[in-house]
Amino acid sequence: MSRAATTPTTSTAGATDNDTHTGTRTLRTTRVRRGASVLTGATLLASALTVATFPTSAHAAAPVPAGTGTGKYVALGDSYAAGAGVPGQSAGLCLRSDHNYGHLVAAALAPSSYTDKTCAGAKVSALTTSQTDAGMVVNGPQLDAVTSDTSLITLTLGGNNLGTSDVGFVDVVVACSALSVTNPFGSPCRDFYGDTLSKRLDSATAQLTDGLRKLSAKAPKAKVVVVGYPSVLPEDPKTCFGKLPATSDDLRFLRSVMDELNEKVAKAAGAAGATYVDTVGPTKGHDSCSSNRWIEGILPTSPAAPLHPNATGERVMAEAVLRSLGR
């Protein structure tokens, strides 16, 4: 998608229909980008205010006792794995919570050691390259935390590859929200993206498969558990009326994108010999438009990043991981 912005073509003598169409489309794209930029900023601000508004002191830290239930456990992944916005937060811009699903799994398993390398904004490339912000390193390569004697690895990655910014799927949702005003009864978001998101997921799937194989090569005895994304959006878009500014058709489209994301993440896990854990089923009916949310909306009402699991959502994801481990 081009970032170019031009003055809209006006109807003048000698101007062709194609000239006029091109200018109008360019103006439309520019307006969408400006609208999306404003919405993205508002969303990130809402996330920051949510973290600041809800005191972390009210939430006791999930203890991670040293033990011998498993060997060394390493948690990797993006904001869904980090528990972005869920108290208590640490690791700066990584928005890492001590109530994310990794911490809760570790508390149940009592591993000999636990390392949390999760970080908000992580794309698949974060497995092997550092995450940076304004030229400063936010989080080193996540793969560095894995050693030959690691026995358990959990990971959630791929969602941020959907967007051009570090907020991934949220980036797409805010773009769709901006587009909804251009055609309130149609599917402007689906029309705008076409097959772009599918192509991004195909690329992310190949990268993730390669990254998972590198994990296994580095820790050949480790059980690798790839945790899917939860039920962010409902099956029935009507439940989002007044809660999420996107058309009904585009909400169906966005739901299909999340379904495709999980399908391709599961495919990557299978290709690399890892275990895939579904979290859509366990969180069904508690999406961002539900009256009993485990996944927060664009404007969170419980401490969590927009369109991300709150503390209950992280706990349910942890329970799904533990079931996959026979616990």
Instruction: Point out the residues that are catalytic.
Output: 79, 308
Task: Name the nearest CA neighbour of 118 among 133, 102, 104, 106.
Answer: 102
The 8-class DSSP code of residue 309 comes to B
Contacts for 317 with CB less than 8 Å, ≥ 6 apart = 80, 101, 227, 230, 279, 282, 283, 309
Tokens of residue 168, six digits = 């991934």
Query: Smallest Cα–Cα separation from 157: which of 230, 80, 225?
Result: 80
CA pseudo-torsion sign 61, 83, 35, 231: negative
Using CA of residue 261, residue 263, residue 269, residue 271, what is the dihedral sign? Answer: negative
Measured CA to CA in angstroms, residue 253 lies from 46, 194, 195, 258, 294 at distances of 25, 10, 11, 9, 21
Judge whether 106 and 64 are in contact, CB under 8 Å: yes
**What is the torsional sign of CA 307, 308, 311, 314?**
positive
Number of residues assigned to the chain: 327
The rounded Cα 287 to chain-centroid distance in angstroms is: 14
Sequence-ordered list of residues with C-beta below 8 angstroms from that of 132, at least 6 positions apart, any chain: 138
- Residue 156's DSSP bridge partners are 77
Q: Which pairs with CB-CB distance under 8 Å and at least 24 residues apart come from 172-175?
A: 172/197, 172/254, 172/257, 173/244, 173/246, 173/254, 173/298, 173/307, 174/36, 174/39, 174/40, 174/43, 174/298, 175/32, 175/36, 175/39
